[in-house]
Amino acid sequence: MLANGQMRLPLGLRSGATLDDFCPEPNTAALNAVRSLLVRPAPMFVLYLYGPGGVGKSHLLQGAAQSDAGWIPYIECAEMMQSFVDLALPETFSSLVDAPLVCLDNVDAWAGQVDQEKFLYDLYNERFHRARPLLLAGREASRQLVWTLPDWASRFSACVPMALQLPDDLQRQHILQTMARRRGLRMDRDVARYVLRHQSRDMVVLESLLEMLDARSWEQQRQLTIPFIRHCLDREASS
């Protein structure tokens, strides 16, 4: 436990996942909803973001956790299956109850797990009494989740659901160019189109690709041209 009573948790935060770095299209409403939780929890006491991989759910939760609103724990539920006993310790639970916001990612991984659902039910109730919000995320729509505990299912049904959408091709191009620009890289339209044609369109994968290109560009003092990117990709594939 930290000196201020907060628990050390396996947060798994990415430093680049901030709300300011989140490219809003086509999920501007979700970004605004998350920001509202950080300043005024009512009327969205519990917000549930859902959608397929790559839409930015984890980015929004991690961005909220790294805001300046105080200590905000981010918990990746799917990764807490084995170490859940540590999360359920009384001192840990008390720390989570008192946090200004708690972000639970991939919460649908706990569906059908009685102990985890009981934990969610208790956390919901304790934070409700303190008028403190929860931010949840998962892949499935709320109506598609099958919870074991009726009490928790009832609480979860009161969450405000918000679907996130995958960007279309033009939005992906703009997002990729924005991500490059924030790294100080110039990526013109043709280069962005080339990357999207030849690489995975998953935004997490593209972020990793940009990190590699940033390093190579710095090392070789080269601009992001199609031949340079092709050379970097060939080099990565052969290594």
Residue 107 is part of a domain; what is its CATH number?
3.40.50.300
Final residue in a domain of this structure, among 163, 179, 202: 163
What is the C-alpha radius of gyration for the chain, rounded to an integer number of angstroms? Answer: 20
Q: What is the pLDDT of residue 138?
A: 97
Nearest Cα neighbor of 24 from 59, 67, 75, 76 is 59
Residue 206 counted as domain residue: yes
73 confidence band (pLDDT: 50, 70, 90): very high
Final residue in a domain of this structure, among 123, 146, 163: 163
Instruction: State whether 137 and 181 are in the same domain.
Output: no
State the total domains in the chain: 2
Residue 174 counted as domain residue: yes
**Share above pLDDT 90 across residues of the chain, in percent, rounded to a whole number:** 55
Query: For the chain, what is the mean pLDDT?
Result: 87
**CA 174 from centroid of its chain's CA atoms:** 20
27 confidence band (pLDDT: 50, 70, 90): very high
Using the predicted structure, report yes or no on whether residue 5 has a pLDDT greater than 80: no
127 confidence band (pLDDT: 50, 70, 90): very high
DSSP one-letter code for 53:
T
Residue 17: partners with Cβ closer than 8 Å, 6 or more residues away: 58, 59, 62, 63, 66
CATH number at residue 205: 1.10.8
164 confidence band (pLDDT: 50, 70, 90): very high
Domain that holds residue 148: 28-163
Residue 229 counted as domain residue: yes
Q: What is the pLDDT of residue 41?
A: 57
Distance CA(43)–CA(13), nearest Å, equals 28
Cα 164 to Cα 40, 206, 239: the distances in Å are 22, 19, 36
Instruction: State whether 91 and 208 are in the same domain.
Output: no
pLDDT digits (tens, 9 = 90+) for 40-66: 655 558 999 999 988 899 999 999 999
Distance CA(228)–CA(231), nearest Å, equals 5
Q: What is the pLDDT of residue 2?
A: 41
Instruction: State whether 158 and 173 are in the same domain.
Output: no
- H helices of the chain, in order, are 28-39, 57-65, 84-87, 90-98, 114-129, 150-156, 169-182, 189-198, 203-220, 226-238
Nearest Cα neighbor of 203 from 186, 185, 179, 235 is 179
Across 13-24, average pLDDT:
79
13 confidence band (pLDDT: 50, 70, 90): low
Instruction: State whether 92 and 207 are in the same domain.
Output: no
Count other C-beta atoms under 10 Å from residue 46's C-beta: 19
Instruction: State whether 177 and 141 are in the same domain.
Output: no
Using the predicted structure, report yes or no on whether residue 19 has a pLDDT greater than 80: yes
Residue 17 counted as domain residue: no
Instruction: State whether 128 and 177 are in the same domain.
Output: no
Across 112-139, average pLDDT:
95
Residue 194 counted as domain residue: yes
Instruction: State whether 75 and 120 are in the same domain.
Output: yes
Q: What is the pLDDT of residue 52?
A: 92
Residue 69 counted as domain residue: yes
Final residue in a domain of this structure, among 119, 147, 163: 163
Residue 22 counted as domain residue: no
Instruction: State whether 108 and 224 are in the same domain.
Output: no
The verdict on whether omega for the bond into residue 43 sits within 30 degrees of 0, i.e. cis, is yes
Residue 195 counted as domain residue: yes
Q: Tell me the pTM.
A: 0.82
